[in-house]
């Protein structure tokens, strides 16, 4: 069958046009990365979001580092909407904010919830802005354990631990804790709690004795927190912007452009690969009789640990 030259020409033109569009897309993407071009005469302020349960610090640390090194970013707002999370990641983000604030002003802005680990992160900032009804506080540490020995007995299941030392299976769900084990865990909790207490006292420039009455795990509203010195000002993102202007010595009439970190683009191969890996792990988990979702590489952490919750 003889090919129509016009059809062939149109096909070739279509291919070149598609390549041109791809070129423009990636070129413009690189241009957009230069935030100074997006400022449009205003001042750029970076926004780092800390949302949900804090189980990983990698994303927040990367964003803080990026804004710290970007000369077009004059200050940073950390928007927190989290009930807390694991101790380690919360402390890492806290320490990163302390480092960054030596270079640029950092203001913590609370949304619905900024409690426990969420509040731990906030005290590293220069100032804290909270909505009056935000749930905050909850200064404390917790480790959840369970004694399922009676359940195993009912199910006629016998479980055994072979260990290298007498404390290696502390908190095992196969038996009750001994008084010696309970004392050991309590000392651990108290140690980390004192770290939390010191971080709040240092960050808020308050005596430890002034913080202690409100550091028993209780939840406070933003208004209550401000009354006892745990928050600097009441309001939303607009108030946080005004505070950033003040700290960064930006003219009150100057326009502020909020800059959000660019979302990571996942390639098609990454999406397919992640799906295949999750399916494989879920299948393996089901073969072991584990609940659905336990095999997911992106599932929640299931190990026991210390939490600011």
Active site residue ranges: 116, 168
Distance CA 106, CA 89 (A): 19
| CA-wise closest residue to 78 among 185, 170, 203 | 203
Angle at the Cα of 45 from the Cα atoms of 44 and 48, rounded to 5 degrees: 140
What is the spatial distance between Cα 244 and Cα 78, in angstroms, rounded to a whole number? Answer: 11
Nearest to 117 by CA among 99, 100, 142: 142
Residue with tokens 């950390």: 78
**Which of 76, 79, 86 is CA-nearest to residue 116?**
86
Question: Whose CA is closest to 61, among 38, 86, 78?
Answer: 78
In 93-162, the DSSP E strands lie at 106-115, 127-130, 135-137
Residues 6+ apart with CB under 8 A from 250: 43, 74, 75, 244, 256
Dump the DSSP string for 24-57. HHHHHHHHHH-HHHHSTTSEEEEEEEEESSB---
């Amino acid at each position: 069958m003889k090919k129509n030259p016009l059809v062939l020409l149109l096909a070739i033109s279509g291919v070149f046009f598609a390549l041109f569009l791809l070129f423009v897309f990636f070129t413009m993407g690189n241009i957009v990365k230069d935030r100074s071009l997006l400022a449009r005469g205003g001042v750029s302020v970076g926004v780092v979001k800390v949302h949900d349960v804090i189980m990983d610090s990698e994303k927040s640390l990367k964003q803080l580092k990026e804004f710290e090194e970007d000369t077009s970013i004059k200050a940073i707002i950390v928007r927190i909407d989290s009930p807390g999370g694991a101790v380690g990641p919360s402390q890492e983000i806290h320490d990163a904010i302390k480092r960054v604030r030596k270079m640029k002003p950092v203001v913590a802005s609370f949304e619905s919830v900024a409690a426990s680990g969420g509040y731990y992160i906030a005290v590293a900032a220069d100032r804290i802005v909270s909505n009056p009804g935000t749930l905050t506080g909850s200064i404390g540490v917790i480790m959840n354990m369970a004694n399922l020995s009676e359940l195993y007995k009912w199910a006629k299941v016998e479980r055994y631990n072979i260990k290298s030392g007498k404390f290696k299976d502390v908190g095992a769900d196969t038996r009750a804790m001994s008084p010696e084990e309970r004392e050991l865990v309590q000392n651990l909790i108290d140690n980390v709690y004192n770290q939390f207490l010191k971080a709040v006292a240092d960050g808020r420039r308050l005596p430890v004795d002034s913080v202690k009455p409100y550091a028993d795990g209780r939840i406070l509203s933003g208004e209550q927190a401000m009354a006892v010195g745990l928050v600097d000002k009441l309001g939303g993102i607009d108030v946080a912007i005004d505070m950033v202007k003040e700290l960064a010595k930006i003219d009150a009439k100057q326009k502020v452009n909020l800059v959000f970190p660019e979302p990571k683009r996942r390639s098609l191969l990454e999406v397919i690969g992640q799906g295949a890996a999750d399916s494989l792990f879920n299948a393996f988990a089901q073969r072991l009789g584990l609940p659905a979702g336990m095999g997911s590489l992106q599932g929640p952490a299931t190990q026991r640990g210390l939490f600011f919750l």
